[in-house]
Every structure is written in C-alpha cells, then in structure tokens.
Chain A
Amino acid sequence: DSGVTQTPKHLITATGQRVTLRCSPRSGDLSVYWYQQSLDQGLQFLIQYYNGEERAKGNILERFSAQQFPDLHSELNLSSLELGDSALYFCASSVDPGGRTRQETQYFGPGTRLLVL
C-alpha cells in the first residue's frame, strides 16, 4: 500500500459525458501528479500540482483539467469524453521539499479504470 488513494476504482460512462477522478496523496506529500496509461501509449504524464498550484503540464488535452485543494487532495476532470479516453488514470505523490533535492520518488495510487462507451 503506497498510501495514495484514488476513487473511484472503476468508472463506466458514455461519450460526451464528464467525470471527476479523485486522488488523496500520501500524508505529508505536497506534489500530486496525474498520469494516463492507455494500451498503446504506456504511462504518460498529464499534469503536476504542488501545494495547490499547477507546476507542470504534459500531454493533457484541453478537455481535461485538474486542481489541488487546500487539503492537498486533487481532482482530475475529464469532459466531452471520447472513446479514446478509455484508459487507466493514475495519481502519484511526492514530498517535493521545494528545491532541497530535485530527485523525488513518486508513489502511485491504484488507479481509476475509465471505460467510455
């Protein structure tokens, strides 16, 4: 158990719909990362939040957005869903002490499996 929790575990929805995935980081971790794992693309970085603020963006579609709340949990919002958005979505967290070291280990949650029909 990494200490990172994600809900829901599974999500089935229809094209055009909007869903919200939730992540709670490990206690004490300030950074939250979102990754997408699809069959052909492997694990792809989407976005990072640090202490409530967006820090880095990766291959995140404009239809997707995220935020990190004051209690440090994060939500990933996926809208206007398409069949191709079906994937595993992972959240990871790290301590990220703000510059003392850049070499951070990220700990992953169990993921949310999204199926768009």
Chain B
Amino acid sequence: DQQVKQNSPSLSVQEGRISILNCDYTNSMFDYFLWYKKYPAEGPTFLISISSIKDKNEDGRFTVFLNKSAKHLSLHIVPSQPGDSAVYFCAASGGGSNYKLTFGKGTLLTVNP
C-alpha cells in the first residue's frame, strides 16, 4: 500500500529551464508535506515543506504547490542548475501523534548543462 507515489522515476531538463517534480498521495490524514534532495552516499537533505492549510510555499528557486482536492503536490525548480541533479523524495506526515514520514520512491533529476 503505497500512500505516497512519485510516478516518474526520472526527469531530465536543460540548465536554466524549469524542473517540475510531481507527487500524489492517498491518505487524506496527511497534513504536512516535505521535499528532500538526496545525493548518492549522503542522507536526505530537507528542501522545502508545506502545510495543508496552504497551497503554495516558495523558497528561492524552489516552490511547492499543494492541491488538496487532487491529493497532489509538485516541486518547481526555476531556474534549474546542474548542481540540482539528485534524487528528490516527496514525504508526508500527519494523523494523530505519529509524526513519521511516509516517503515516495523518489525521482532522479538530471540537469544537463
């Protein structure tokens, strides 16, 4: 039962263009969503988060959009840079006092110079 899904295993974009990474979830109890970036042999690095009471959160080149009715969120990176090449994980938490994160399986982003 995969409650957080990232349906694109990989994405390739040109430097300077927009990268859009997508994530869908099924559990309506989720109320906090996060994006992490992961390089090989390192731990996930927190990028940006959004609460379910918002539909957009922006931090520099990174913007996360949340569509609660569609149970869908997306991460936009503008402009994309070669250093953004990594695996991006979508994660969600919520419901009761259990703050565990449920992760998607990740999307490998490659930004070509």
Cross-chain contact B99 with A104 (CB below 8 angstroms): yes
Whether a CB of chain A sits under 8 angstroms from the CB of B102 is: yes
Count chain A residues whose beta carbon lies closer than 8 angstroms to a beta carbon of B.
30
Q: CB-CB < 8 A to B43: which residues of A?
A: 2, 4, 6, 90, 108-111
Q: CB-CB < 8 A to A33: which residues of B?
A: 100-101
Tally the A-B contacts, defined by beta carbons under 8 Å. 73
User: Which residue on chain B has the smallest CB distance to residue A47?
Assistant: B100
Q: Which residues of B contact A (CB under 8 A)?
A: 31-32, 34, 36, 41-46, 49, 51, 89, 91, 93-94, 97-106
Known contacts A42-B104, A45-B102; 15 additional CB pairs below 8 A are A2-B45, A2-B46, A33-B101, A42-B106, A43-B89, A43-B91, A48-B99, A56-B99, A92-B101, A96-B99, A103-B32, A103-B94, A104-B93, A104-B99, A110-B42
8 contacts between A and B (CB under 8 A): A2-B45, A43-B89, A43-B103, A48-B99, A103-B31, A106-B34, A108-B36, A111-B42
